[in-house]
Structure 1
């Protein structure tokens, strides 16, 4: 991926050269979060700062020195947002008010999911991982499985989702599965980089680190987001080794091998059939579930429009 795809709207600068590179990075980062109607904290701004490596102290100094990027940002002392978009602060405060209860629910679900056979990582993703959830949002999970055993593992996890839909109705949504043989992301975009950096590994930190190591291209977009998300420390879970070992012994048997072949053949034929999806999808394979091909493009288009307006004084 050419580097300029990430930096074009951020380094072009203001026509009168008043916007420094660090200001451009700050504005680009806050503009991206504005696409989700959400104010951003200083720590989050630092972690997700676009294309500019620095310490959090240097970031704070830049904000002070430039007087909030020449008045293009506003703050209440805790959060930052684009000037004139104070409703983003209200949205963020509402999200924070419900956050702890929802995170506890996600942690409880992860305790179950991590016991499923051949599941090696359970990552919290989506709006809740971004601390930007609204009432009714799902609990989104990203699951990584053993190589060659993704479909049997997925079937167990889907059973948890179905059981939830019949009982507690928490909105359990395991929406993406890959195996340890498919950790590298095929699309290299700012949106995908943000999704990986946002993900909170509730179980399987070693696999999370391996996935990040196989996607070092994300460092060009988000050079400060190389460590574990802060929420990991308080939310991590462990499986019951006896339960997990017993289930994996069952699924490693000839029955499990047969089920993998049966389930993968059945589901790939169905999910890859022409016209099955309303929007174009990548292929479902033995090691990866398919995803919408144009995921994130609308967000990136909206982000670029905001950056053009903020930095170049023009709107496309």
Structure 2
């Protein structure tokens, strides 16, 4: 157990080193990566005490350093101060993101909204955008995306061109009958392990149930029982406004037309055909990742782990 746990701890600290994120003992335990990350078969969960005792044993002192309660690879001490600074920046940005989420809860067909990426990790920078994971009503993904994107554009909160800082990055839409993530790899497991539900915590719990495969990479993965500090409370007024909007837009049969128009626009976009791009556009998922980060992170992770 101790040998295997040591390898898992080292893998975890190394992976998050690639993401420039030193970890506390609690975070190492919570986000522990199984050593069988290339062919995951799941691993036995361990306790926080197990991790704390192993770290205190000194068996990894040649591979892992500690400062102010954070663990990192040798020579990466500067990450500690950066992490503390990033926590403060991220908290301020998440407050603004939460205020925006209160308004977006009124948008027709929106069923769930979550924060992902560096902000969800509390590791953002001043120039960070707001990565959003969007769930829309089944059968309304095209009009739902149009309404949400259009609204954010009107209020100056949509990321586009060089306008990035503190703007919503809408690159992942799914419908509420398609909550299981298609790509099941270490990066996806990491990404959705940090997921912050902003709107509709109840649907987020179903999302976690659908994605229990995360446990194959993170053996200490457990379902979230309480809403996040950043989760917007469900308001009757917001739901009422949303229902009125949906009744109005349900009268217009534009879904198929919007689907054809947007698919053609996506097809003509040069980024769609970039090598390694991850683009999906159908009635259940709209995913726009022309340069997905996961493969690059994984290669750097393997290099540092074998160094």
Specify the TM-score bucket, using the shorter chain as the normaliser: 0.7 to 0.9
1:305 to 300, 303, 306: 303
Shift of the 274–141 alpha-carbon distance from structure 1 to 2, 3 Å rule, reads closer
* Map of 1:223 onto structure 2: 219
Shift of the 240–159 alpha-carbon distance from structure 1 to 2, 3 Å rule, reads farther
Q: Which consecutive residues of structure 2, in runs of 5 or more, have no partner in the other structure?
A: 35-42
Worse overlay, 255-264 or 74-83 = 255-264
Question: For 1:126-165, what aligned pairs fall within 5 Å after superposition?
Answer: 126-165=117-156
Residues 78-120 of structure 1, C-alpha deviations (whole Å, 9 max, x = no match):
2111111112112212202323211211111111122212211
Shift of the 243–259 alpha-carbon distance from structure 1 to 2, 3 Å rule, reads farther
Residues 219-257 of structure 1, C-alpha deviations (whole Å, 9 max, x = no match):
110121223398x43111034423433433432456554
Question: For 1:48-59, what aligned pairs fall within 5 Å after superposition?
Answer: 48-51=31-34, 52=43, 53-59=45-51
* TM, length-normalised to structure 2: 0.85
* Map of 1:189 onto structure 2: 185
1:262 to 253, 257, 262: 257
The whole-number CA distance in structure 1 between the counterparts of 2:264 and 2:81 is 46
Residues 172-221 of structure 1, C-alpha deviations (whole Å, 9 max, x = no match):
22321100122122211000011111111122222112222222221110
Contact 1:117 1:244 in 2 (8 A): no
Which has more helix, going by share of residues? 1
Residues 7-53 of structure 1, C-alpha deviations (whole Å, 9 max, x = no match):
xxxx9xxxxxxx82111101111111111112112222111101252
The whole-number CA distance in structure 1 between the counterparts of 2:270 and 2:90 is 38
CA RMSD of aligned residues (A): 2.5
The whole-number CA distance in structure 1 between the counterparts of 2:146 and 2:236 is 20
Contact 1:250 1:256 in 2 (8 A): no
2:52 is the alignment partner of 1:60: yes
**Number of aligned positions between the proteins:** 290
* Map of 2:29 onto structure 1: 46
2:106 to 110, 115, 130: 115
Question: For 1:1-316, what aligned pairs fall within 5 Å after superposition?
Answer: 20-51=3-34, 52=43, 53-65=45-57, 67=58, 69-165=60-156, 170-228=166-224, 232-253=227-248, 255-273=250-268, 275=270, 277=272, 279=274, 280-292=277-289, 295=292, 296-309=294-307
Residues 103-144 of structure 1, C-alpha deviations (whole Å, 9 max, x = no match):
211111111122212211111111010011011100111111
* TM, length-normalised to structure 1: 0.83
Q: Which consecutive residues of structure 1, in runs of 5 or more, have no partner in the other structure?
A: 1-10, 12-18, 310-316
* Map of 2:39 onto structure 1: none
Secondary structure class of the residue paired with 2:84: helix
Worse overlay, 295-304 or 233-242 = 233-242
Shift of the 257–42 alpha-carbon distance from structure 1 to 2, 3 Å rule, reads farther
The whole-number CA distance in structure 1 between the counterparts of 2:189 and 2:152 is 27
The whole-number CA distance in structure 2 between the counterparts of 1:256 and 1:57 is 58
